[in-house]
C-alpha cells in the first residue's frame, strides 16, 4: 500500500491533506500546476481588483483547489468551485477544507461529472451553480490522462490501490481532456485561462485539436515542463471578443 495511505495524510505544496484509498494521491509535480494558477490569479487581482472565479474539474482530495486558496489567502479574493464524479472524493475535499479552515464562502464542492460533449452534469443531489451558464476566469484540472494501452506499465501498487477512473484517459489519453476543452470554450470568460496537466505526448495533439476547432474561440498559449524536463502542463486562453 502507498505510504500516503498508510500515514493517512501527505504534504502538498504548503498544505497537509488527509488521504484515503482509493482517492488519487496528488504527485509533487502537480504543485507546479498550482504555481501557474496562483501566478495568474495574482496578476488578475492586481490588474482588476475583482474576485477570481475558478473551476477545478476532478478535485479528488481537493489538493489543487485548496492549495490555490491557501496560497492566495490575504493576497487575492478567490472563489473556487471543485467538482468530482466520485462522491467519496467530494467528501474528502470537504474534510480537507474544514481541516484547513477554508470556508464555504471560498469553495463550493459539487458531485458532478463532465460528459464527452463538454457538459457538466450532476452525479447526485442538486447544486446552486448552473454549469451551463456559469462563467469562470480560470479552469484547472489534473484529469485522467494515461492512455489505456499504457496501464500495463504502471507500478502494481498504483493499479491495486488507486482509483483507475482517476488515471484512465481512454485510448489516447485525451478523452476527458477534450471534454474539458469543450467546456472551457463555452464557459471561460473572454481572456480566461485553462490550465491542464497532461501526458508528455499530448501537447501537440491538444494544439492541433484547438487549431482545427476555430469555432471554440480558444488559443493554445504555452507548454510547461515538469521537474524532469517532460512536457507536462498546457495553458489555453479564451480569445477576447474584442481581439
What is the residue whose three cell numbers read 504543485? Answer: 31
Summarised one tens digit per residue, pLDDT across range 75-103 is: 889 999 999 999 999 999 999 999 999 99
- The answer to whether the beta carbons of residues 59 and 65 sit under 8 Å apart is yes
In the DSSP assignment, the letter for residue 168 is B
So where are the chain's domains? 3-238
Could you give phi then psi for residue 122, rounded to 5 degrees?
A: -70, 135
Who contacts 176 (Cβ-Cβ below 8 Å, separation ≥6)?
58, 114, 143, 144, 145, 169, 170
Handedness of CA 126, 132, 137, 142 (dihedral sign): positive
Cα separation, 33 vs 112, whole angstroms = 22
pLDDT computed for residue 39 by the predictor: 96
In the DSSP assignment, the letter for residue 75 is T
Each of the 243 residues of the chain gets a pLDDT tens digit; together they read 999 999 999 999 999 999 999 999 999 999 999 999 999 999 987 667 788 999 999 999 999 999 999 999 988 899 999 999 999 999 999 999 999 999 999 999 999 999 999 999 998 777 889 999 999 999 999 999 999 988 888 999 999 999 999 999 999 999 999 999 999 999 999 999 999 999 999 999 999 999 998 899 999 999 999 999 999 999 999 998 655
| This prediction's pTM | 0.96
> What's the CA angle centered on 121, arms 118 and 123, to 5 degrees?
135
pLDDT computed for residue 176 by the predictor: 98
pLDDT computed for residue 48 by the predictor: 73
- The answer to whether the beta carbons of residues 88 and 61 sit under 8 Å apart is no
pLDDT computed for residue 242 by the predictor: 56
pLDDT computed for residue 207 by the predictor: 97
Neighbours of 19 (CB within 10 A): 23
Q: How many angstroms from the chain centroid is the CA of residue 83?
A: 9
Region for 59 from its dihedrals, namely left if φ exceeds 0, alpha if ψ lies in -120 to 50, beta otherwise: alpha
Into which CATH architecture does domain 3-238 fall? 3-Layer(aba) Sandwich (3.40)
Amino acid at each position: 500500500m502507498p505510504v500516503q495511505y498508510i500515514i493517512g495524510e501527505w504534504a502538498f505544496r504548503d498544505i497537509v491533506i488527509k488521504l484515503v484509498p482509493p482517492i488519487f494521491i496528488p504527485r509533487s509535480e502537480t504543485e507546479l500546476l498550482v504555481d501557474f494558477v496562483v501566478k495568474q490569479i495574482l496578476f488578475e487581482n492586481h490588474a482588476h481588483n475583482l474576485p477570481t472565479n475558478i473551476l477545478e474539474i476532478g478535485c479528488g482530495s481537493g489538493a489543487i483547489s485548496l492549495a490555490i486558496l491557501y496560497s492566495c489567502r490575504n493576497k487575492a479574493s478567490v472563489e473556487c468551485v471543485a467538482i468530482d464524479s466520485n462522491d467519496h472524493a467530494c467528501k474528502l475535499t470537504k474534510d480537507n477544507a474544514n481541516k484547513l479552515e477554508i470556508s464555504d464562502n471560498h469553495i463550493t464542492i459539487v458531485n458532478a461529472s463532465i460528459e464527452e460533449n463538454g457538459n457538466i452534469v450532476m452525479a447526485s443531489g442538486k447544486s446552486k451553480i448552473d454549469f451551463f451558464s456559469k462563467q469562470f476566469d480560470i479552469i484547472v484540472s489534473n484529469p485522467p490522462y494515461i492512455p489505456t494501452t499504457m496501464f500495463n506499465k504502471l507500478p502494481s501498487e498504483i493499479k491495486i490501490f488507486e482509483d483507475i477512473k482517476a488515471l484512465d484517459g481512454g485510448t489516447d489519453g485525451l478523452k476527458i481532456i477534450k471534454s474539458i476543452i469543450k467546456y472551457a470554450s463555452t464557459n471561460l470568460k473572454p481572456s480566461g485561462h485553462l490550465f491542464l496537466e497532461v501526458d508528455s505526448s499530448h501537447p501537440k495533439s491538444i494544439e492541433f485539436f484547438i487549431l482545427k476547432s476555430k469555432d471554440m474561440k480558444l488559443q493554445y498559449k504555452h507548454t510547461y515542463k515538469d521537474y524532469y524536463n517532460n512536457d507536462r502542463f498546457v495553458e489555453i486562453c479564451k480569445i477576447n471578443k474584442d481581439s
